[in-house]
Structure 1
Amino acid sequence: MKTLNQKVVLLTILSCLVWPFSVLANDYLLSEKTYNSLNAAQEKMEQQQYRQAEADLKKLVGETEAGSYERAVVLQTLGYLYSETEQYKLAADQFEQALALNALPEDVTHNLRYNLAQLLIGDDRYQKGIDLLNEWLKNEPQANSNAYVLLATAYYQINQFSRAVEAIRTAIQRDRAPKESWYRLQLAAHMEMQQYNQSIDVLEILIERFPVNKTYWDQLAALYAQQDKRLTSLAVQMLAKRLNMGDNDTVIRLANMYRFLNIPYKSAQLLQKSMDDGVIERNFKNLESLADSWLAARENENATQVLARMQSMDTSGETDLKLARVFISMENWPAAAGPLQQSLEKLPEDKRGQAWMLSGMVNYHVGNMEQSEQHLNRALAFAEVRNQASQWLRHLQNTRSDKEDA
């Protein structure tokens, strides 16, 4: 991917170029003769009479005062003519001369600086274009993504891959719908730096967004093989062969594969990002997979957030009980009390044993000894938790005895 298509860069330039004619302050007035000559040249350009317009503008350059505002505007206009006729090196030369005069209004200078940066990069004068583009960005806090894509492309071409990654990440973050080619550029830069983990992350995004492209699956499998994760590599290859690449379940199956291969954190990351990006639905089933992945990765805090969101989707009480168990494993006893109460209200009578027993434990830890005893006694009616409930009741009684003896 080192050789990028120069034509693609250049084709974006003309759409961004703005004609210099505008209402200006008194400090930036054209003489009537110069104004009329520029208008005539522009009309010829609109009629594609470029040779005549070029000759007229070159003559007009010599008729204007050296270093003047008029000279700068004529040079700028000549630059636009060369841009329209795809003579980009000549266009850049005219723009450079116009800027060097330091005679144009600040807003015009600012826009011209960006136009010149594009032309320089399109003409393979990357470092000069980068310097100018960075200068422009300092004064353009609301720059759109395309400027950062251009900067990333230029950095990539001069082998400054880390800066290319930084610039393309900024472009992606600033755009609601990042283009596939932007991710490909980021991937190429990571690969050049042999940053294989980061490359895998980018490939997963590409697979998530563009699952029909088999190349990304092949690259992902190859990267896992590169890292001696041959089982994972083989699994990716097998999954890619079995998948209907237009299937919406592609991401879910890939996430399930990661969990099967004991890489639950990556499974959770993939599911979370896919939901955030709207690639897969944030429904109960997918949220359950996400929660299970976070739990398998021992990311309990993340799991509780997902389970809490699932509570309103589940009337069975099982999700409430599951959330309570996670809080208990974190020894967050107060947080477990609410979900346990909700589970007791929703679960069928014959399935409340676990909830009664856990509620007895939680109440013990928050100091509600009487309620703890009541709930543990309720748990005794259920064979699957009877022994555990009995042990807790004995512990509770011993605690009381110790307090009475103290």
Structure 2
Amino acid sequence: MGKLLKVAIIATVLLAAVSNQAAWAQERKKTPALREQVYSQLARAQELADAGDVPAGLQVLQAVEQKLSSMNSYERAMLWNFYAYMHYGQDNIDQAIIYFAKVVDEEALPLALEQNTLFSLAQLALGQGNYQQSLGYLERWQQLVPVDQHSKAFVLKAQALYQAGDYAAALMPITQAIDGAVAKSVIPDENWLVLQRAIYFELKQTDQVAKVLEQMVRWYNKPEYWVQLAGVYGQLGEEAKQLAMLEAAYQQGFLVKGTDLLNLAQTYFFSDLPYKSGRVLEQALADQKVERNLRNLKMLAQAWVAARETDKAVEALAAAAELSDDGELDAQRATVLLNAERHQAAIAAAQAALTKGNLQQPGTMHLVIGMAELNQENYNAALQAFARAKEFEQSRSTASQWQRYAEAELEQAQRLAEINRS
């Protein structure tokens, strides 16, 4: 705190000199002198505060305040200024604001002191959540400084307007601050773009949110901005850009959260790239970045099925089936195995599905068993399975067709057998 107070006093002495350089200061009332007897007491209060005895320093200020009627406006302003800095140093911001406000309420202040105090008040009020008060102090500050210095307050004004809920008004000053930095070939402060992005979001201007994030990716290259930009592209229906961003982020090692990896896997899948989807999800599961739960294993299986990776699909379906309360995943596994002409495995999976139960179309599993048996020329077993399939309305018509086909195949096999025996 001592260092803060010393800076305050040095700055105060210099401020009077600075104010005399401004052309518009000529119309202001002349600032009265700070008498030695007042200054010495203020300096004593500072020394006590520097030594860590703030209460004693405040007592000295209170003693000075007893002589308030004999003090001029500049001496009073300095007294309030010391009060303010002491309270600020003790993190008593509300009291600091009260005393800084007393400073600017005095007449005939050095211009720079009034300017800086008003700006400090705007910052402190913003920090305390008093947004309209902050904007009021900024308006008074702007009346005291030339237009070419207004840029100093662009960000502060935008923050206060944003917090006050006036998003449309907040957009102009933050954009001016960013454009000013860019015009000087300087990368703007990252928080400025964070604020601009938030404003566009509140204004529901998603295309502008994307443009801000594009700049954030270019200037700051943080993983979260790549992911956020991909998400915004998705909202805008620009799936190709969304995938490109996610893929580039993944290749740079920026996707470390399970949610981001799942998002990439889903984006790959819906972009007709199921193999890449499976690879990403398989690695995420192996790295324990995503939970090995039913939902994620079903997603993995879906990717491998679409990619026609039979072994991987069967493995994922079997793992998912262990976590499921019904036989649907075993039923899907049976179908995959049948299509891969792994007949015995298909029969076993279909039987597992029927045993587990709760199937939407149980007749289909009897069809799978029948077809697998038929492909192995086990005609009687096939006919038995088709007969069971006919017991279910959804599979009755198909089962009848397969039954007739199996009977014909059986009859032909029997005739061939008789010919071979003769």
TM-score of the two chains, using structure 2 as the length reference: 0.50
* Preserved contact between residue 68 and residue 103 of structure 1 (Cα < 8 Å): no
Say which of 49, 58, 65 aligns to 1:61.
65
Whether the 8 Å CA contact 1:73–1:98 is kept in 2: the answer is yes
Pick aligned residue for 2:154 from 148, 152, 168: 148
Q: AA paired with 2:12?
A: P
Q: Is it true that 1:28 corresponds to 2:32 in the alignment?
A: yes
Is this contact kept in 2: 1:151–1:164, CA < 8 A? yes
Give me the whole-angstrom Cα distance separating, in 1, the residues matched to 2:136 and 2:6.
Answer: 22
For 1:40-59, what aligned pairs fall within 5 Å after superposition? 40-59=44-63
Matches within 5 A, 1:269-280: none
Residues 240, 161 of structure 1: alpha-carbon distance in 2 compared, 3 angstrom cutoff: same
Q: CA deviation at 1:200?
A: 0.6
Match of 1:178 among 177, 188, 192: 188
Q: Does the CA contact (< 8 Å) of 1:144 and 1:174 recur in 2?
A: no
Measure the CA separation in 2 of the matches of 1:145 and 1:47: 38
Q: Bigger shift: 66-75 or 129-138?
A: 66-75
Q: Note the C-alpha offset of 1:197.
A: 0.9
Question: Which of 228, 240, 248 pairs up with 1:219?
Answer: 228
Query: 1:194 corresponds to which residue?
Result: 204
Q: Do 2:5 and 2:82's aligned partners in 1 also have CA atoms closer than 8 Å? A: no
**How do residues 123-138 of structure 1 correspond to structure 2 at under 5 angstroms?**
123-138=128-143
Please state how far the C-alpha of 1:183 moved relative to its aligned partner: 0.9
Q: Which amino acid aligns with 1:236?
A: M
Identity of aligned residues (%): 27
Instruction: State whether residues 155 and 161 of structure 1, in contact with CA within 8 Å, keep that contact through their aligned partners in structure 2.
Output: yes
C-alpha distance 20-38 of structure 1, shift in aligned 2 (>3 A): same
1:42: Cα distance to partner?
1.9
**2:216 corresponds to which of 179, 189, 206:** 206
Contact 2:93 2:124 in 1 (8 A): yes
| Aligned equivalent of 2:120 | 115
After superposition, give the CA deviation of every residue in 1:187-245 in whole Å (9 maximum; x if it has no partner).
1111111111111110000111122x221122112112212233332332223223466
Q: In the TM superposition, what whole-angstrom CA distance separates every residue of 1:48-106 from its partner, at most 9, and x where no partner exists?
A: 32111112112212312288312222112211211222211111100112222324222
Q: What is the SS of the residue equivalent to 2:165?
A: coil
Query: CA 1:48–1:173 in structure 2 vs 1: closer, same or farther (change >3 Å)?
Result: farther
Partner secondary structure for residue 20 of structure 1: helix
Give SS of 2:69's match.
coil
- Give the match's secondary structure for 1:159: coil
Q: Separation in 1 of the partners of 2:95 and 2:84? A: 7
Aligned match of 2:237: 228
How far apart are residue 177 of structure 1 and its match?
3.1
Name the amino acid aligned to 2:217.
I
Partner Cα separation in structure 1 for residue 235 and residue 203 of structure 2: 14
Change (3 A) 1:135 1:15: farther
How many residue pairs get matched? 234
Q: Which residue of 2 aligns with 1:320?
A: none
Structure 2 segments unaligned to the other structure (5+ residues) = 21-29, 255-422
CA distance in 2, matches of 1:15, 1:77: 10
